[in-house]
Amino acid sequence: MSAATEREFLLSNAEFDEIRRLVREHTGIALSDSKRELVYSRLVRRLRRLSLRSFAEYIALLGQADEVELEEFTNAITTNLTSFFREGHHFEFLADTVLPALEKRNAGTRRLRIWSAGCSTGEEPYSIAVTLQEAMARFRGWDVRILATDLDSNVVAQAQAGEYKAERFEKVTSARRDRWFDATHSGTFVANAALKSLITFRQLNLMHPWPFRGPFDVVFCRNVVIYFDKETQRGLFDRIAEMQRDADHLFIGHSESLFKVCDRYQLIGKTIYRKVR
Ligand SMILES: C[S@@+](CC[C@H](N)C(=O)[O-])C[C@H]1O[C@@H](n2cnc3c(N)ncnc32)[C@H](O)[C@@H]1O
């Protein structure tokens, strides 16, 4: 049976290529040939919802630069896998090395800024907030803020709500969870006011201009550029470097590297970088 007869809609090679081009243009994400099934299964829901008869009609709608549908389109394409304290060594390094150094370096300004770029449903910025709150004795009276951004407006809304099912806390001890998250009657846990007060959530496409100037003492940009081609990665890390001063830190994802991508950072640990120029 051919793909066309087995399926509700036909996705021709030309249509797949046009969708890939639109994804690249609007998100920076470069989809390989192997992502055809993923594209079909994510977008077929949009076709049904909009009562469209073909991918050609859907592409035509996107071509009209329909802002609402472009947002749904990018939301459908992004992959939002995340967890609390993912790549736990980053949070240990933040607590044991970065924060003590910042306590000294920023003693004059008493200001601390951290950016979670590609924050997905919020587990990353809340893990940063827990780490900061647990070190807060060092920073009493300081101006401490975490900026958490993502392209996908759905995940930003979830992150802002900060409500998670119990199973999301697999890597967190119950004592730590109960200290920083309030249990609800429905068995979920909501980030408490101490965590939420540190974080500003914003929808932001990293490919677009950024409405802030930094500087950020620490940037988490983890498991985001894995979907970008090298050229897009180069441009992005160069812009992030512009937002940081020498000796600031950058954390990237476990399968990512700045090797031959950006020479403005020095590798100082497993996927941990310090800005040098
Ligand atoms: C796999 S998640 C990683 C989440 C978290 N940083 C972590 O490591 O657990 C990648 C996130 O990057 C976001 N993303 C992809 N392209 C983006 C872009 N152009 N601008 C902003 N965020 C983007 C996706 O929406 C997704 O939530």
Looking up residue 99, the CATH number of its domain turns out to be: 3.40.50.150
pLDDT at 1: 40
259 and 133 fall within a common domain? yes
Counting ligand 1 atoms within 8 A of each CB, the residue from 71, 123, 151, 203 with the most, and so the one to mutate, is 151
CB 178 within 8 A of CB 169: no
69 and 98 fall within a common domain? no
70 and 201 fall within a common domain? no
- Ligand 1 centre from 267 Cα, in Å? 22
Which residues does 148 contact at the CB level (< 8 Å), separation at least 6? 115, 116, 119, 122, 124, 125, 156, 159, 199, 200, 201, 202
- Ligand 1 centre from 87 Cα, in Å? 15
Task: Compute the average pLDDT of residues 32-39.
Answer: 95
* Active-site residue identified among 42, 177, 179, 274: 42
Assess if residue 48 is contained within a domain. Answer: yes
- Ligand 1 centre from 13 Cα, in Å? 27
Assess if residue 180 is contained within a domain. Answer: yes
245 and 124 fall within a common domain? yes
Residue whose C-alpha is closest to residue 28's, from 143, 139, 123, 151: 151
Q: Which is the closest atom of ligand 1 to the Cα of 207?
A: 19
Counting ligand 1 atoms within 8 A of each CB, the residue from 42, 127, 207, 224 with the most, and so the one to mutate, is 224
Report DSSP state, residue 46: H
Reply yes or no on whether 42 is catalytic: yes
pLDDT band at residue 6 under the 50/70/90 scheme? low
Last residue of a domain, one of 77, 110, 132: 77
Q: How many angstroms separate the CA atoms of 250 and 248, rounded?
A: 7
Task: Compute the average pLDDT of residues 76-97.
Answer: 97
- Ligand 1 centre from 242 Cα, in Å? 20
46 and 113 fall within a common domain? no
Q: Residue 14 belongs to a domain with what CATH number?
A: 1.10.155.10
* Active-site residue identified among 86, 113, 150, 152: 150
- In whole numbers, what is the pLDDT of the chain averaged over residues? 96
Assess if residue 83 is contained within a domain. Answer: no
pLDDT at 2: 45
Q: Which is the closest atom of ligand 1 to the Cα of 81?
A: 1
Assess if residue 255 is contained within a domain. Answer: yes
Higher pLDDT, 5 or 182: 182
pLDDT at 275: 98
Burial classification of residue 262, based on how many CB atoms lie within 10 Å of its CB (0-12 exposed, 13-18 middle, 19 or more buried): buried
Burial classification of residue 274, based on how many CB atoms lie within 10 Å of its CB (0-12 exposed, 13-18 middle, 19 or more buried): middle
In tens, the pLDDT along 117-175 reads 999 999 999 999 999 999 999 999 999 999 999 999 999 999 999 999 999 999 899 99
In tens, the pLDDT along 170-203 reads 989 999 999 999 999 999 999 999 999 999 999 9
208 and 118 fall within a common domain? yes
Total domains, the chain: 2
135 and 184 fall within a common domain? yes
Task: Flag whether pLDDT at 64 surpasses 80.
Answer: yes
Assess if residue 258 is contained within a domain. Answer: yes
72 and 95 fall within a common domain? no
The protein residue whose alpha carbon is closest to atom 3 in ligand 1 is: 223
Assess if residue 163 is contained within a domain. Answer: yes
Task: Flag whether pLDDT at 3 surpasses 50.
Answer: no
Assess if residue 195 is contained within a domain. Answer: yes
pLDDT band at residue 4 under the 50/70/90 scheme? very low
Q: Which is the closest atom of ligand 1 to the Cα of 205?
A: 20
268 and 146 fall within a common domain? yes
52 and 24 fall within a common domain? yes
Boundaries of domain holding 23? 3-77
Last residue of a domain, one of 22, 44, 77: 77
In tens, the pLDDT along 235-248 reads 999 999 999 999 99
Last residue of a domain, one of 14, 43, 77: 77
